Amino acid sequence: MPVLQTRSLTLRAAGRVLVDALDWHVHAGERWCVIGRNGAGKSLVLRALAGLGVPERAGEVLWQGRPQQDWPAIAAAATRALMPQQAQDRFALTVERTLALSQVVMSCDSRNAGELMSALDIAALAARRADQLSGGERQRVALAQCAMQGAALMLLDEPVSFQDPAHQQLVGRWLAEAASGGRAWIASAHDPSWIGRVATHVLALFGDGRWQAGPVDEILSAQVLERTYGCAWRSFEDVWIPA
């Protein structure tokens, strides 16, 4: 039973087809990265997979083999979690309060918040106001919020875009272990070298509706990367550089 499955998922926005007839399976233990140019539809795909509203969609998304619209809201919360690209803090909540509110009571595996905070290097921020953190700190708190939900599927919209190199490594190492025990995650990301280290599979969106999904070694090739980003790529060992 795949954690996530799509059947002919088609997404349009502003008159453009961004994803055309996506047939896709994500199984437990898999770590997927979604790549594509700016505006290619990465965030839109993640929103649609989470069940949030998108401008125009067709086709089906199934969680644990069951269509997403058939899930009761509370059971759905224990099944999938979404980390948005940008947190929307309007009230002066502390980090620990924000995390406590993000815990789903019914979730089968509510993680130890303290361990989680240490693992993501945010333990020292517990008493700080979430709306006053730096971009990178807030992003790691958002990742912790997502993990606190204890869902089988984590959907992460750019989990490392604001991270310094050391924290990119730290988050990458944490993510590499976050797909155990029946779990999986899907993250949008940009750096092929980082993706090569943390992901098992990649979904490439070419921006015109076409897409390609497969194991990381297959997709991280000069040919697919060029088709994705429109520029040539060279690799040295496991490091990818745009030419």
Partner 1 sequence: MTDTREMPASVSSSAKPRPADPAILRVALLALATVLVAALALGLGSGGWDWSLIVSLRAPRVAAAAGVGSLLALAGLALQVLLRNPLADPYVLGHSTGASVGALTALLLGAQLWIGAAAGALVAGLALLWLARPALAAADDASPRLILLGAMLAAVFGAIATLMLALVPDQRLRGAIFWMVGDLSGADASLWNLAGAGLFAAWLWSRGRSVDRLMLGADAAWLLGEPVRRLRLELLVFASLAVGLAVATCGSIGFVGLVVAQGWRLAGVLRTRELALLSLLSGASLLMAADLLARVVVAPLELPVGAVMALIGAPCFIWFLARGVK
Between CA 123 and CA 117 the distance in angstroms is 5
Under DSSP, is residue 44 helix (H, G, I), strand (E, B) or coil?
helix
Q: Is the distance from CB of 178 to CB of 148 less than 8 angstroms?
A: no
Closest separation between CB of residue 212 and partner 1, Å?
28
Closest separation between CB of residue 44 and partner 1, Å?
14
CB closer to partner 1 out of 8 and 118: 118
Closest separation between CB of residue 203 and partner 1, Å?
21
CB closer to partner 1 out of 185 and 229: 185
Q: Is the distance from CB of 144 to CB of 125 less than 8 angstroms?
A: no
Between CA 197 and CA 186 the distance in angstroms is 15
Residues near partner 1 (CB under 8 A): 50, 52, 73-78, 80-82, 84, 86-94, 96-104, 106, 110-115, 117, 123, 126, 131, 148-149
CB closer to partner 1 out of 94 and 212: 94
CB closer to partner 1 out of 1 and 106: 106
Q: Is the distance from CB of 175 to CB of 198 less than 8 angstroms?
A: yes
Closest separation between CB of residue 33 and partner 1, Å?
21
CB closer to partner 1 out of 81 and 225: 81
Residue 37 is given by DSSP the state -
Residue matched to tokens 């795909």 = 45
Between CA 55 and CA 11 the distance in angstroms is 8
Closest separation between CB of residue 138 and partner 1, Å?
12
Amino acid in the structure at residue 116: L
98: its two tokens: 């924000």
